[in-house]
């Protein structure tokens, strides 16, 4: 079973690197959807196992919520937000793509070294799933600072959230159920609020370029 | 009884959605916030009698001990005073046509959601739910920060929601690691529970606990405004409507520090000493005080100045909790109480000033004592208090903080600390004290308070911070001492 998880964790990592290499917001949303689907698949496999072995079905419920929220609802919401500001948005990055990808690879190597030094995380071999999923968090953070449109930041935030969720799954086989549900509620509210704010910013500043948010200093 | 603490703010949220009349909204607001104070009073009393307040409901989710009771009391008392102040504040905004009844409805809905999430974060027995509640505070207050809906407030709100959400996400990583360190020790039905984690602290995996503390201090430290994760704080505090600034500074920062303190006591028990956590907290504390002192010296906006002063005081609290001696923990908690009341008062007074002068610039204000006799007076005394002048309470707690620093033999740290406090004092004196005197500029500005109830609230605050500066009520002392034992083990 471990090899499935290994493959999935690599695929999830790969999807976040692909995300960094995109230039347009539409393709961000598409990649985010694929990444979420991969995570849902991982949760599904884990949920199935725990149902067979311990008779618990809470992980399967979580998997269902991921499909509903992250694969269907949030991408749709992002498309809607994007639609309302579309005519102003062009390419969105200010470092060139090969450099961005090299930095991402550097981040993965960095995480590998950090994780391999923490013996509590690794039983007898280095826990590669945690390395991969933790790298997703850092890549999400990096994605946020490498884009200048507010929508890019929202997607970066979602990728961080995805990374955290996968880290929780691979390291502890899931958080307690009620905590998972609460995190989902928080996340969906956060995205709704950010979506509304993007529209307001667009109205006030006539752009969603966050480099224009520079009035408050000192 | 304790569960009413969750119910009352939720009912208030519901009522503010349903009620469509300004007057009725104000009445509901006062009734609900007063009810919260009464309930919290009873809950605190039973905590003082029996130590811990817990019910066998939802898997022992509700939990109140001396530590959370102290911060809970700060939340509800400041919440009550702020809600009285808000009536006059909102009526004045209404008179100017800046808001309408719908906006007032929104204000109360969000304010009570904000209070609910803060009360929730202080009364749950589960770090996961605590995390959810603290993220909830960000979400509930985002639109409050952006309430005025202009360029500046939108910018502040966007920074606030992005920086705090990402920061809090990092704290979630820490919580996952804390959970990981305990999976082999604690039964899964008790996962992430404070009391159980604390009881089994010695058996947790030390290395992972240490790692989790790093993430948690970065994450919740963002929310508590520790430098260098503080960048959202001056913007949000200065752009939010003043009652909300008072809540953000007086209440929210404490809730975030509360989460750090809870984890800190688990980590220290696990590691057997406070060296590791102490170094980190003292480092963050000193950095916060230094940065704040520099920015205060060069500040041109009085609400931002108050915001930087909040960063400074959070630094002082972090430093004294980090030292982790009984005296320093006591001083830190005492300082937390004093700072909350003093700063809430200052922000409320600054709200009156802002409404009168319509500028945030220090240079735009002259002759404050003549134009606004009560608010100006409260602002003047509050500035003395916040910069650590006797006889106010902040002086008392700052003295106990540096006594505890010197008692541990940290001579350099202690001297540096006093030097920085002096620098802050000079900064506040140089930049702000000129606004009180001088002749008013040519513009027509009728002297007199616009918000009489708000002025009364300011006087209540003044009485509170003067009394606690001169002597400490026995009940308060007892409560802080038992909280100190909870943290120190």
**Dihedrals phi, psi of A90, to nearest 5 degrees:** -120, -145
How would residue B442 be classed by pLDDT, with cut points 50, 70 and 90? low
Q: Is the pLDDT of residue B415 over 90?
A: yes
How far apart CA A169 and CA B65 sit, in angstroms, is 32
Cβ-based contacts of B205 with chain A (< 8 Å): 120
A217 within a domain of the structure (yes/no): no
pLDDT for B462 beyond 90: yes
The three-state (H, E, C) secondary structure of chain B, written as one string: CCCHHHHHHHHHHHHHHHCCCHHHHHHHHHHHHHHHHHHHHHHHHHHHHHCCEECCCCCCCEEECHHHHHHHHHHHHHHHHHHHHHHHHHHHHHHHCCCCHHHHHHHHHHHHHHHHHHHHHHHECEHHHHHHHHHHHHHHHHHHHCCCCCHHHHHHHHHHHHHHHHHHHHHHHHHHHHHHHHCCCCCHHHCCEHHHHHHCHHHCCHHHHHHHHHHHHHHHHHHHCCCCCCCHHHHHHHHCCHHHHHHHHHHHHHHHHHHHHHHHHHHHHHHCCCHHHHHHHHHHHHHHHHHHHHHHHCCCEHHHHHHHHHHHHHHHHHHHHHHCCHHHHHHHHHHHHHHHHHHHHHHHHHHHHHHHHCCCEHHHCCCHHHHCHHHHHHHHHHHHHHCCCCCCHHHHHHHHHHHHHHHCCCHHHHHHHHHHHHHHHHHHHHHHHHHCCCCCCCCCCCCCCCCHHHHHHHHHHHHHHHHHHHCCCHHHHHHHHHHHHHHHC
Interface contact flag, B146 A161, Cβ < 8 Å:
no
Mark yes or no for CB contact B176/A185 under 8 Å.
no
Q: Kindly state the percentage of chain B with pLDDT values over 70.
A: 98
Contacting residues of B for A207, CB less than 8 Å apart: none
Confirm or reject contact between A103 and chain B (CB < 8 A).
no
Does some domain include residue A218?
no
A197 and B191 in contact by Cβ < 8 A?
A: no
Cβ distance B154 to A204 less than 8 Å, yes or no, reads: yes
pLDDT of residue B317 exceeding 60, the answer is yes
The average pLDDT across B426-434 equals 85
Average pLDDT (A187-195) is 91
For residue B154, give the nearest of A144, A175, A201 by CB distance.
Answer: A201
Instruction: Flag whether A86 is in a domain.
Output: yes
At A135 the pLDDT is: 95
- B344-358 average pLDDT score: 93
* Domain total of chain A: 1
- Omega within 30 of 0 (cis) for the link into B119: no
Chain A CB contacts of B298 below 8 Å: 218
Q: Is the pLDDT of residue A22 over 80?
A: yes
* B119-139 residue pLDDT tens: 999 999 999 999 999 999 999
Across residues B406-432, what is the average pLDDT?
91
pLDDT of B185: 86
- Name which residue leads in pLDDT, B218 or B472: B218
* Of A160, A200, A218, Cβ closest to residue B169: A160
Instruction: Give contacts of B211 with chain A, Cβ < 8 Å.
Output: 118, 120
Residue B338 is predicted with a pLDDT of 95
- Tell me the residues of chain A between 110 and 139 that have a Cβ less than 8 Å away from chain B: 118-121, 137
Mean pLDDT, to the nearest integer, of B305-328?
95
Give the nearest partner residue to A118 out of B158, B207, B235, using CB atoms. Answer: B207
- Annotate B427-462 with b (16+ C-beta within 10 A) or e (fewer): bbeebbeebbeeeeeeeeeeeebbbebbbbbbeebb
Q: Is residue A186 predicted with pLDDT exceeding 80?
A: yes
B180 neighbourhood in chain A, CB within 8 Å: 120-121, 171-172
- pLDDT, average across residues B253-266: 94
Interface probe, candidates A186, A188, A189, chain B, greatest B C-beta count within 10 A:
A186
Output phi, psi for B126, to 5 deg. Answer: -150, 120
* pLDDT at residue A177 tops 90: no
Grade residue B51 by pLDDT with cuts at 50, 70 and 90.
confident
Give the one of B146, B180, B295 whose C-beta lies nearest to A171's C-beta: B180
By Cβ distance, the residue of B139, B156, B234 closest to A186 is: B139
Closest residue in B to A193 (Cα) is B139
Contacts of A160 in chain B (CB under 8 A): 166, 169
* Residues contacting residue B169 through CB under 8 Å, at least 6 positions apart: A157, A160, A161, A164, B219
- Using a CB-CB cut-off of 8 Å, the residues of chain A touching B139 are 186, 189-190, 193
Place B232 in a pLDDT band, splitting at 50, 70 and 90.
very high
- What is the total residue count of chain B? 489
Q: CA of A55 to nearest chain B CA: how many angstroms apart?
A: 15
List chain A residues with CB under 8 Å of B161: 190, 193-194, 197
pLDDT band at residue A89 under the 50/70/90 scheme: low
Residue B444: band (very low, low, confident or very high) from pLDDT cuts 50, 70, 90: low
Calculate the average pLDDT of chain B. 92
Range(s) of the domain holding residue A16: 2-212
* pLDDT at A88 (0 to 100): 60
Average pLDDT over residues B210-216: 94
pTM: 0.94
Examine the pLDDT at A119 and tell me if it is beyond 70.
Answer: yes
Tens-place pLDDT, residues B165-206: 999 999 999 999 999 998 888 887 888 888 899 999 999 988
Any domain includes A98: yes
Q: Has residue A36 been placed in a domain?
A: yes
Partner B contacted by A101 (CB < 8 A): no
A202 assigned to some structural domain? yes
The reported pLDDT for the residue numbered A87 is 63
Whether pLDDT at A90 is above 80: no
Q: With CB atoms and an 8 Å threshold, state whether B192 touches A175.
A: yes
């Amino acid at each position: 079973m471990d090899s499935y998880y290994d493959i999935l964790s690599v695929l999830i990592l790969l999807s976040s690197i692909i995300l960094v290499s995109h230039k347009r917001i539409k393709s961000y949303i598409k990649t985010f959807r694929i990444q979420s689907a991969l995570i849902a698949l991982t949760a599904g496999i884990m949920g199935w196992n725990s149902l067979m072995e311990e008779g618990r079905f809470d992980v399967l419920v979580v998997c269902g919520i991921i499909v509903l929220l992250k694969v269907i609802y949030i991408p749709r919401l992002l498309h809607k937000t994007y639609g309302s500001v579309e005519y102003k948005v062009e390419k969105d990055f200010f470092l060139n793509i090969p450099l961005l990808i090299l930095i991402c690879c550097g981040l993965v190597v960095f995480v590998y070294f950090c994780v391999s030094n923490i013996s509590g995380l690794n039983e007898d071999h280095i826990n590669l799933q945690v390395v991969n999923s933790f790298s997703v968090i850092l890549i999400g953070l990096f994605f946020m600072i490498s884009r200048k449109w507010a929508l890019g930041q929202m997607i970066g935030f979602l990728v961080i959230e995805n990374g955290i969720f996968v880290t929780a799954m691979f390291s502890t086989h899931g958080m307690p159920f009620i905590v998972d549900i609460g995190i989902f509620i928080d996340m969906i509210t956060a995205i709704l609020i950010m979506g509304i704010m993007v529209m307001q910013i667009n109205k006030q500043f006539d752009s969603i370029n966050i480099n224009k948010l520079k009035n408050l200093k000192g | 009884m304790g569960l009413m603490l969750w119910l009352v703010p939720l009912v208030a949220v519901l009522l503010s959605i349903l009620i469509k009349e300004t007057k009725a909204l104000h009445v509901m607001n006062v009734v609900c916030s007063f009810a919260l104070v009464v309930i919290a009073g009873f809950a605190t009393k039973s905590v003082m009698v029996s130590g811990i307040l817990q019910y066998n409901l939802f898997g022992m989710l509700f939990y109140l001990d001396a530590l959370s009771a102290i911060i809970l009391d700060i939340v509800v008392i400041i919440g009550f005073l702020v809600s009285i102040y808000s009536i006059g504040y909102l009526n004045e905004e209404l008179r100017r046509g800046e808001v309408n009844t719908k906006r007032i409805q929104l204000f109360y809905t969000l304010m009570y959601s904000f209070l609910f999430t803060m009360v929730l974060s202080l009364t749950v027995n589960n770090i996961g739910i605590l995390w959810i509640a603290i993220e909830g505070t960000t979400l509930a207050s985002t639109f409050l920060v952006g309430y005025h809906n202009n360029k500046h407030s939108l910018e502040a709100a966007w920074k606030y929601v992005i920086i705090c959400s990402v920061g809090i996400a990092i704290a979630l990583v820490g919580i996952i690691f804390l959970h990981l360190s305990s999976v082999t020790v604690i039964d899964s039905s008790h996962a992430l529970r404070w009391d159980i984690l604390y009881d089994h602290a010695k058996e947790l995996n030390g290395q992972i606990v240490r790692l989790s503390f790093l993430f948690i201090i970065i994450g919740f430290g963002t929310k508590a405004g520790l430098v260098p994760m503080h960048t959202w704080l001056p913007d949000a505090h200065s752009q939010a409507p003043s009652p909300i600034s008072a809540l953000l500074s007086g209440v929210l920062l404490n809730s975030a520090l509360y989460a750090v303190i809870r984890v800190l006591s688990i980590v220290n028990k696990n590691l057997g000493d406070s060296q590791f956590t102490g170094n980190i907290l003292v480092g963050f504390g000193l950095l916060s005080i230094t940065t704040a002192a520099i920015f205060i010296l060069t500040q041109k906006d009085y609400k931002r100045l108050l915001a930087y002063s909040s960063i400074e005081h959070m630094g002082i609290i972090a430093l004294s909790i980090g030292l982790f001696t009984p005296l320093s923990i006591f001083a830190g908690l005492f300082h937390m109480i004093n700072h909350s009341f003093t700063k809430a008062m200052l922000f409320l007074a600054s709200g009156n000033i802002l409404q009168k002068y319509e500028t945030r610039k220090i240079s735009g204000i002259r002759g404050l004592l003549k134009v606004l006799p009560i608010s100006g007076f409260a602002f003047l005394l509050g500035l003395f208090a916040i910069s650590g002048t006797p006889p106010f309470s902040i002086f008392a707690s700052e003295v106990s903080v540096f006594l505890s620093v010197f008692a541990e033999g940290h001579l350099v740290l202690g001297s540096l600390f006093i030097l920085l406090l002096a620098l802050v004092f000079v900064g506040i004196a140089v930049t702000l004290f000129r606004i009180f005197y001088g002749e008013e500029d040519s513009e027509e500005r009728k002297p007199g308070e616009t918000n009489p109830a708000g002025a009364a609230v300011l006087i209540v605050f003044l009485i509170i911070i003067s009394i606690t500066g001169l002597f400490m009520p026995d009940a308060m002392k007892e409560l802080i001492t038992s909280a100190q034992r909870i943290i120190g083990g």
